[in-house]
């Protein structure tokens, strides 16, 4: 089938199409009702199906005689360690950990938080939860205790699974004290904390609620897979929204399993046995879908990488791993390629490795600039495929479906709509715009299987955030346009979410933290262009009347506050003091205007502006601090 044929069929006959895809996985009870609606009228897939995703990821392959195949390769340049785990080994450890969790009183329907770096035990913990119907919520290790506490209070875990430490480029990060601090900060108290001790010398304070991971696994019986209904929440994954409170995206089990199997074959074009590497983190959706569940369901070997594209130890790491483990398809964020390109502009390291196993390099998480794409194509003998999706969708929405038909690559475009996603570009009033005109990227309901079910315990926010702006359509929060050939170009977020080195962050959340500084009367945080990280935050601050704090002190204290409250990953480095912020006459801060000034883009001064002279004022201040296009930091 051509792309056009398969895509058209998925849109015109969704129930028939997804019934066929559901046959690609094994169910305890195969669904008969393919597409229906929940009590709010929101589309539901496979509502009467029963399955277990841990069974699909592990046990099934062992039953099929493939237990000796490598499931995970853990490659950790930061600890100089490479370890391989077969499907049988993973299953034994996961089943015993699940058995241990049962002995701690966990049961189907409970929630557990996982706070871990990129080590195999993070994936084992996720799979152990899935095995017994416990809904997991993985929190990215770069988030500070305060952020962890917000998530603990929202999803109320009975258990937290963590480790002694993580390793960043130049330091060991003690995780356990961060978890203890988060528990202190939170109102909800988990019953137990399971701690995997990596014995890397970090401080591991002991608390009464602690349970040793190794002792728990060693002393427990293997737990069997518990069948769950299709709509059973496999996980809650918090992502940044336009307020200070993160949104708990709820993922179902059955639709997700079908969608991931479909993605591995039809988008990523990997065959069973292939080695798949998503160089991301289990704390992000990419890690959930394409480090853990997707590759394992498809019986691929998945790489767990603990390191960075550069400085661990140098910018040859990606190429060394591809060559050494014969990676067939890889996924990373453009920022990683930009980092490598900066350190090795002529690709000298690349020439030292045999990269012939690599069939395709997938890129996502942020906009891929054409220079980066071209650099990649010049140096690497595999197509670079940009594709677009979100935490909410759980799997790609726009791509070049490599397993169907490789369409010509148009630099700057993320490809065409993926099967099941009826993507439209709307103007503010909900009418479709003409080709090549920019608008809001929306998807006609029903979204295909595997996409978000709801926001955790917050259906009103789910409706208000995604469904109400354009009735009958899901609103992605991104802007973009389609060309005459239906290629889609994403131009960026239309809200206050920013993307820093492929990490999705909320400027509203940063504003809350910056505002808490005693000298700050008012502030705005905006995302400005950065040649390495894509975007970085910039805080513009108005100090309190008669407050004479020096800029240096305010900047340092604010940076520290953001690192403490949100985490180092926020990458706030620039804080500037302004006399006032540009506002409309009704008092709304004009963030987009400030972004355009900082990025040196042409802009129109909104007619609603309170006082036009502020444009020059902001420009002068940014020049003084050498920010944005003037940024030499
Ligand atoms: N635990 C603790 N701290 C973390 C962390 C984690 N899991 N992840 C990041 N941090 C810290 C970093 O140490 C850094 O701290 P610093 O300011 O003290 O140096 C800060 O958060 C920012 O981290 P990062 O954005 O990773 O920047 P970097 O300068 O260390 O590295 C890149 C730059 C481009 C190499 C890196 O961002 C990268 O590899 N990006 C790819 C992103 C990616 O895969 N995203 C997933 C979406 S697909
Ligand atoms: P996350 O939910 O963290 O995966 O972030 C999703 C957001 O990242 C999207 O809404 C986009 O704004 C951005 N994004 C993801 N992939 C791409 C891409 N290929 N091109 C441009 N932006 C992207």
- Ligand with the closest atom to the CA of 397: 2
Beta strand extents in 101-200 (DSSP E only): 111-115, 135-138, 159-163, 165-168, 171-174, 192-196
Atom of ligand 2 nearest to the CA of 499: 8
Per-residue pLDDT of 33-55, as tens digits, reads: 999 999 989 999 999 999 999 99
- Ligand with the closest atom to the CA of 122: 1
Using only C-alpha atoms, the chain has a radius of gyration, in whole angstroms, of 24
Residue 533 has pLDDT above 70, yes or no: yes
- Tell how far the Cα of 569 is from the centroid of ligand 1, in angstroms: 6
pLDDT bracket for residue 631 (50, 70, 90):
very low
Atom of ligand 2 nearest to the CA of 391: 2
- Tell how far the Cα of 121 is from the centroid of ligand 1, in angstroms: 21
Residue 351 has pLDDT above 50, yes or no: yes
Predicted pLDDT at 630: 56
Q: Which residue CA neighbors atom 5 of ligand 2 most closely?
A: 390
Min mean pLDDT across 120-124, 134-138, 482-486, 546-550 is at 546-550
Buried-state track 586-609, b at ≥16 Cβ within 10 A, e below 16: eeebbbebbbbbbbeeeeeeeeeb
- For the chain, the maximum distance between any two Cα atoms, rounded to a whole number of angstroms, is 75
Residue from 413, 487, 499, 501 whose mutation best tests the ligand 2 pocket (most atoms within 8 A of CB): 499
Which residues have any ligand 2 atom within 6 Å of their CB?
Answer: 239, 284-285, 364-367, 386-388, 390-391, 414, 476-478, 490, 493, 499, 504
Is-contact 439 425, C-beta < 8 A?
Answer: yes
Q: What global pTM score does this model have?
A: 0.97
For residue 277, how many C-alpha atoms fall within 13 Å in the half-sphere facing its CB? 29
Q: Concatenated DSSP letters for 524-572?
A: EEEEEEETTTEEEEEEEEEEPTT----HHHHHHHHHHHHHHHT-GGG--
Per-residue pLDDT of 181-234, as tens digits, reads: 999 999 999 999 999 999 999 999 999 999 999 999 999 999 999 999 999 999
CA nearest 104: which of 157, 175, 55, 57?
157
Q: Which residue CA neighbors atom 6 of ligand 1 most closely?
A: 142
Predicted pLDDT at 629: 64
Mean pLDDT of the 436-450 span: 98
Q: How far is CA 630 from the centre of its chain?
A: 30
Is-contact 250 233, C-beta < 8 A?
Answer: yes
Query: Phi/psi zone of residue 571: left (φ > 0), alpha (ψ -120 to 50 degrees), beta?
Result: left
Residue 531 CB coordination number (10 Å):
11
Q: Which domains does the chain have, with CATH numbers?
A: 3-307+387-475 (3.40.50.12780), 500-631 (3.30.300.30)
Per-residue pLDDT of 291-340, as tens digits, reads: 999 999 999 999 999 999 999 999 999 999 999 999 999 999 999 999 99
Tell me what percent of the chain is helix, strand and coil, each rounded to the nearest 5: 30, 25, 45
Q: What is the mean pLDDT of the chain?
A: 96
Per-residue pLDDT of 140-188, as tens digits, reads: 999 999 999 999 999 999 999 999 999 998 899 999 999 999 999 999 9
Which residues have any ligand 1 atom within 6 Å of their CB?
Answer: 117, 141-142, 166, 168-169, 173, 279-281, 284, 286, 308-310, 332-333, 335-336, 339, 365, 501-503, 568-569, 571
Is-contact 300 87, C-beta < 8 A?
Answer: no
pLDDT bracket for residue 404 (50, 70, 90):
very high
CA nearest 72: which of 130, 63, 81, 64?
81
Predicted pLDDT at 633: 36
Give the C-alpha separation, 214 to 408, whole Å: 50
Residue 632 has pLDDT above 50, yes or no: no
Q: Which residues contact 323 (CB under 8 A, 6 or more apart)?
A: 353, 354, 355, 357
Atom of ligand 2 nearest to the CA of 286: 4
Per-residue pLDDT of 477-523, as tens digits, reads: 999 999 999 999 999 999 889 999 999 999 999 999 999 999 999 99
Predicted pLDDT at 127: 99
DSSP 8-state secondary structure symbol assigned to residue 192: E
């Amino acid at each position: 089938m051509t792309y056009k044929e398969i895509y058209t069929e998925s849109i015109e006959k969704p129930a028939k199409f997804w019934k066929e895809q559901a046959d690609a996985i094994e169910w305890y009870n195969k669904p008969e009702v393919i597409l229906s609606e929940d009590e709010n009228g929101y589309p539901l897939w496979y509502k009467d199906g029963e399955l277990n995703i841990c069974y699909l990821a592990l046990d099934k392959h062992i039953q099929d005689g493939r237990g000796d195949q490598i499931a995970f390769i853990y490659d950790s340049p930061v600890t100089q360690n490479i370890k391989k785990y077969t499907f049988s080994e993973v299953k034994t450890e996961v089943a015993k950990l699940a058995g241990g969790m049962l002995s701690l009183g966990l049961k189907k329907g409970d929630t557990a938080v996982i706070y871990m770096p990129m080590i195999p035990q993070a994936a084992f913990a996720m799979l152990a939860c899935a095995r017994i119907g416990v809904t997991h919520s993985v929190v990215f290790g770069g988030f500070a205790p305060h952020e962890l506490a917000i998530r603990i209070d929202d999803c109320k875990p009975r258990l937290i699974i963590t480790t002694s430490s993580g390793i960043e480029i130049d330091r060991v990060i003690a995780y356990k004290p961060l978890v203890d601090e988060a528990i202190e900060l939170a109102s909800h108290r988990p019953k137990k904390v399971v701690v995997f001790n990596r014995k890397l010398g970090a401080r591991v304070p002991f608390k009464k609620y602690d349970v040793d991971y190794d002792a728990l696994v060693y002393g427990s019986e293997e737990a069997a897979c518990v069948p769950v209904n299709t709509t059973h929440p496999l996980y809650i994954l918090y992502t940044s929204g336009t307020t200070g409170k993160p949104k708990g995206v709820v993922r179902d089990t059955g639709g997700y399993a079908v969608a991931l199997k479909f993605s591995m074959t039809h988008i990523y074009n990997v065959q069973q046995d292939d080695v798949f590497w998503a160089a991301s983190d289990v704390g992000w959706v990419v890690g959930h879908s394409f480090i853990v569940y997707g590759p394992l369901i498809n019986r691929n070997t998945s790489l767990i990488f603990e390191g960075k594209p550069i400085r661990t130890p140098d910018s040859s790491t990606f190429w060394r791993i591809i060559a050494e483990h014969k990676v067939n398809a890889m996924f990373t964020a453009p920022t990683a390629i930009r980092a490598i390109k900066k350190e090795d502009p002529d690709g000298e390291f690349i020439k030292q490795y045999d990269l012939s196993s690599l069939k395709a390099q997938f890129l996502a998480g942020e906009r891929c600039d054409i220079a980066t794409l071209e650099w990649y194509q010049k140096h690497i003998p595999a197509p670079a495929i940009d594709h677009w999706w979100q935490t909410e969708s759980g799997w790609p929405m726009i791509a070049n479906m490599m397993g169907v038909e490789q369409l010509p690559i148009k630099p700057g475009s993320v490809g065409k709509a993926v099967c099941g996603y009826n993507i439209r570009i709307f103007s503010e009033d909900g009418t479709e715009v003409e080709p090549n005109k920019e608008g809001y990227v929306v998807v006609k309901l029903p979204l295909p299987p595997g996409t978000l079910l709801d926001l955790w315990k917050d259906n009103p926010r789910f409706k208000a955030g995604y469904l109400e702006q354009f009735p009958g359509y899901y609103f992605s929060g991104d802007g973009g346009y389609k060309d005459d050939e239906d290629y889609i170009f994403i131009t960026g977020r239309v809200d206050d979410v920013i993307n820093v080195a492929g990490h999705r962050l909320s400027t509203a959340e940063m504003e809350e933290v910056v505002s808490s500084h005693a000298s700050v009367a008012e502030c705005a945080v905006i995302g400005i262009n950065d040649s390495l990280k894509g975007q970085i935050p910039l805080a513009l601050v108005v100090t309190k009347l008669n407050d004479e704090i020096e800029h240096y002190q305010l900047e340092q204290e604010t940076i520290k506050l953001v690192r403490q409250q949100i985490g180092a990953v926020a990458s706030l480095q620039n804080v500037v003091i302004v006399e006032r912020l540009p506002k409309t006459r009704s008092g709304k801060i004009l963030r987009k205007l400030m972004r355009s000034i900082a990025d040196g883009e042409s802009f129109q001064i909104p007619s609603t502006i309170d006082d036009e002279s502020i444009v020059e004022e902001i420009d002068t201040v940014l020049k003084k601090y050498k920010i944005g296009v003037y940024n030499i930091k």
